[in-house]
Amino acid sequence: MKSSVVVGLQWGDEGKGKVVDQLAQRYDAIVRFNGGGNAGHTVVVSNEKKVFHVLPSAALWKKKLYIGAGVVVDPESLAQELSQNPVNVMVDYRCGLITPLEKWLDKRLEELRGAGAIGTTGRGIGPAYADRMLRVLPRVLDVVYGNGHDLSIMRMLIGDGWDVTNEWLDMSRRVLSPIAGDVPESLSSIYEKGGSILFEGAQGALLDITYGTYPYVTSSNTVASYVGVGAGFPVSKIDEVIGVAKLYVTRVGAGPFPTEIAGGLSEKMRSKGGEYGSTTGRPRRVGWLDLVALKYAVSLNEPGKLRLVLTKADVLTGLGDLKAAVAYNVDGKESSNFIDAMLGKSVKPVYESFDPIPEVDWGSVMKGGWDVAPRQLRKFVDFVQDYLKVEVAEVSVGPQRGMNVELR
Clarify whether 53 is annotated catalytic: no
Residue 397, contacted partner among ligand GTP, ligand IMP, Mg ion, none, CB below 5-8 A by kind: ligand GTP
Residue 127, contacted partner among ligand GTP, Mg ion, ligand IMP, none, CB below 5-8 A by kind: none
Instruction: Give the CA count within 13 Å in the CB-facing half-sphere of 77.
Output: 23
- Give the count of residues interacting with Mg ion (CB under 5 A): 3
Quick one: which of 45, 124, 18 has its CA closest to 77? Answer: 124
Q: Please, what sign has the CA dihedral across residues 234, 183, 229, 214?
A: positive
Minimum Å gap between C-beta 255 and ligand IMP is 6
For residues 380 and 312, is the Cβ–Cβ distance under 8 A?
no
Minimum Å gap between C-beta 30 and ligand GTP is 13
Dist. CA 241–CA 6, nearest whole Å: 6
String of DSSP letters for 150-170: --HHHHHHH-SS----HHHHH
Binding flags for ligand GTP, 266-305, as an x/- string (CB under 6 A)? -------xx---x---------------------------
Residues 119-158 that bind ligand IMP (CB under 6 A): 119-121, 123, 125-126
Q: Is 312 in the site for ligand GTP (CB under 6 A)?
A: yes
Beta bridge partners of 97: 73
Residues 85-114 that bind ligand GTP (CB under 6 A): none
Task: Count CB atoms within 10 A of the CB of residue 159.
Answer: 8
Q: Which of 78, 137, 202, 405 binds ligand GTP (CB under 6 A)?
A: 202
For residues 72 and 230, is the Cβ–Cβ distance under 8 A?
no
For residues 18 and 43, is the Cβ–Cβ distance under 8 A?
yes
Q: Is 39 in the site for ligand IMP (CB under 6 A)?
A: yes
Q: Is 38 in the site for ligand IMP (CB under 6 A)?
A: yes
Dist. CA 279–CA 276, nearest whole Å: 9
CA distances from 90 to 30, 97, 142, 180, 184 (A): 11, 15, 16, 6, 11
Binding flags for ligand IMP, 199-238, as an x/- string (CB under 6 A)? ---xx---x--------x-xx-------------------
Q: Is 255 in the site for ligand GTP (CB under 6 A)?
A: no
Q: Is 203 in the site for ligand GTP (CB under 6 A)?
A: yes
Q: Which of 7, 9, 33, 40 binds ligand GTP (CB under 6 A)?
A: 40
Q: Is 252 in the site for ligand IMP (CB under 6 A)?
A: yes
Quick one: which of 279, 289, 294, 291 has its CA closest to 322? Answer: 289
Question: Can you state the angle between helices 125-133 and 100-113, rounded to 10 degrees?
Answer: 110
Count the residues in the chain.
408
| Binding window for ligand GTP (CB under 6 A); candidates: 67-75, 85-93, 98-106, 311-319 | 311-319
Minimum Å gap between C-beta 44 and ligand GTP is 5
Quick one: which of 382, 384, 372, 380 has its CA closest to 356? Answer: 380
Minimum Å gap between C-beta 119 and ligand IMP is 5
Residue 399, contacted partner among ligand IMP, Mg ion, ligand GTP, none, CB below 5-8 A by kind: ligand GTP
Q: Is 183 in the site for ligand IMP (CB under 6 A)?
A: no
Residues labelled catalytic: 13, 41
**Residue ranges in contact with ligand GTP by CB under 6 A:** 8, 12-18, 39-42, 44, 202-203, 273-274, 278, 311-312, 314-315, 396-399
